[in-house]
Amino acid sequence: MFKNFWYGVEFSSDVQVGSPKKVKVLGQQLVLYRKPSDGKVVAMSDLCVHRGAALSEGTVKGDCIVCPYHGWEYSPEGEVQKIPAHPEKGIPRKARIDAYPVVEKHMMIWVFMGDLPEEERPPIPDWSAVDDTETYRAVTGTFLWKSNYERILENGVDIAHTPFVHAGSFGNPDKPEVPEFEVETSPWHCKASVKLNPPKPQGIWGKMNPDKGDLLNRPLVPVSTTWWLPNAILLEVDLPMGKLKIFDVNIPIDEETTLVKFIALRTFFKGKWADKDARRRVFKVLKQDEAVVDTVRPELLPFDLSDELHVKSDYNQVLYRRRRRELIEAGWSVEGNTIVGEGTSARVEARVIPSPIRREVPELASAWNFKEVRSRQLLESEAARRTPTSTPTTQATPDVDDDEPESMPTTEVTV
C-alpha cells in the first residue's frame, strides 16, 4: 500500500452536510464531512487525540467536528478549538490531528494520503468522460472484496483472462489469443489497447443489438484497459452498439480487504430503464473475477518480478510491478494493518499517514501526538539491522521471461 497518492474514497453524493462519514483506506480510518459554510469536504484522521474516540460518530458544529466522547471541537484543519471541560485554559499544542487535502472531481471525493507539497503530488486520474453527461449515462456501485487490491488491479487490466473467467458474458472462449496490442504509458499510468473477437451479446443487449451476424464474421471490438497508480482502473469497450467505459477505484481498506467503487458509462440504452441491467452486468463481472482472485496465492502481490512467470500478454502488469518496486524504494509504501485495526486485529499503537502540514510547518514537529506509519523500506532496513547475518539486502535483477516484449519501457523514478 502506498502513501503520497490521491485516493478516491467515496462518491460525492454520499457525503451530505450534517452527516459525518467514516471511510477506511491504507489501514487508516478517516472522517469525512461537508462544511455547512461552503459545502467543501473535510477529511481528517478519525482518531481523537484525547482518548482515541472516532470523530465520525460525533457531530458537525459550524465548520468544526465535535468528538462524541468529551466534546473536543476540531477545526477543518485538525486543530482543537475548544476543550469543554476546561474552557478557561489554553489549548495544548499537541491538541491536533492530521487533516488531508481533498478534491471533488469526476463524481468522487479524492483525499491526498501523504505529506507531499501540492506541486509534487501525482495527478488524479483523468476520468473526464465521467463529467460528459451529454454523451454518457452513468451508473455507480460498490463491491466489498476480501482480496488484496493489487491482485484486483492486475486482474482488472488483464486481457488474457477474459475468455476463461468471463466466458458467456464478454469473454470469447473460442478466441483466447491476445493479438498485438498498443501501449501508452506515463510514470503514473499504462493503457493497453487491443482488438478482440467478441462473443455473442446476451440478454437485452443481444436482443436489441443491430448486429446479429454470425459470430465468426462479427467485426473486431476495440478493447483497452488502463491502470493509474496506485489503484484506479478503466475498461473501455467499443461495442457495435456504442461505447462502454467502466472506471473504478480499488480502495485498500487494508492489505487483505478492498472496496471497489465503480462508475460505469454507456452511450447506448441511455434511458433510466436500462440502469439496473447495466449495474447488474458490472456486478456479474466482479463476482466472476472474485471467484478466481480469491484463490490466488500468495494473497499479496510478490515483491520480486521473478517470483511469478510473465508472458507478453502480462505486459501492463509487469510495468505495474516495476513501478511499484520503484515506489517502495522511494519510501512510499506503508506498513499494512497496524494502525487502528478492529476486533481481534486491533493493535495497541496508533500510527497515521503524515499530512502535508507536518512538512510545511517544521516548528510543529513536536506537536504531533501520533507517530507516522512506517514504510516497507524502513521496516526492511530495521529488520536487516536486527539480523545482520541474514540474507543480503541487495535486490537481485528481476528475472523476466523470454517472451517479455523487447520494448518494455523503463520509467524514471520521479518520486
Q: Site residues (CB under 6 A) for ligand FES?
A: 48, 50-51, 53, 67, 69-70, 72
Under a CB-based contact definition with an 8 Å cutoff, are residues 233 and 226 in contact? Answer: yes
Nearest distance in Å: CB 285, Fe ion: 6
Q: Is 248 in the site for Fe ion (CB under 5 A)?
A: no
Peptide bond into 298 cis (omega under 30): yes
Under a CB-based contact definition with an 8 Å cutoff, are residues 191 and 168 in contact? Answer: no
- Strands of the 21-25 sheet, one edge to the other: 21-25, 28-34, 41-45, 99-100
Q: Between residues 7 and 72, which has the closer beta carbon with respect to ligand FES?
A: 72
What is the β-pairing status of strands 242-254 and 232-239? Answer: antiparallel
Count of chain residues binding Fe ion (CB under 5 A): 1
Structure-block grid coordinates of residue 1: 500500500
Separation of alpha carbons 196 and 171, rounded Å? 9
Nearest distance in Å: CB 348, ligand FES: 17
Peptide bond into 187 cis (omega under 30): no
Separation of alpha carbons 250 and 171, rounded Å? 22
Q: According to CB under 5 A, which residues from 221 to 240 bind Fe ion?
A: none
Nearest distance in Å: CB 153, Fe ion: 11
Q: Between residues 50 and 358, which has the closer beta carbon with respect to ligand FES?
A: 50
Structure-block grid coordinates of residue 188: 503514473
Separation of alpha carbons 123 and 130, rounded Å? 17
Nearest distance in Å: CB 16, ligand FES: 23
311 touches, from ligand FES, Fe ion, none (C-beta below 5 to 8 Å by class): none
289 touches, from Fe ion, ligand FES, none (C-beta below 5 to 8 Å by class): Fe ion
284 touches, from Fe ion, ligand FES, none (C-beta below 5 to 8 Å by class): none
Q: Is 289 in the site for Fe ion (CB under 5 A)?
A: yes
67 touches, from Fe ion, ligand FES, none (C-beta below 5 to 8 Å by class): ligand FES
72 touches, from ligand FES, Fe ion, none (C-beta below 5 to 8 Å by class): ligand FES
Which amino acid makes up residue 37? S
The count of other CB atoms within 10 Å of the CB of residue 361 is: 10
Using left for φ > 0, alpha for ψ between -120 and 50, and beta otherwise, residue 143 falls in beta
Nearest distance in Å: CB 100, ligand FES: 19
The count of other CB atoms within 10 Å of the CB of residue 105 is: 17
Segment contacting Fe ion (CB under 5 A): 186-194, 282-290, 303-311, 407-415?
282-290
269 touches, from Fe ion, ligand FES, none (C-beta below 5 to 8 Å by class): none
Nearest distance in Å: CB 268, ligand FES: 52
Q: Between residues 255 and 289, which has the closer beta carbon with respect to Fe ion?
A: 289
Q: Between residues 40 and 51, which has the closer beta carbon with respect to ligand FES?
A: 51
Which amino acid makes up residue 70? H
Nearest distance in Å: CB 85, ligand FES: 9
Coil/strand/helix, residue 135: coil
Interacting residue ranges for Fe ion, rule: CB under 5 A: 289
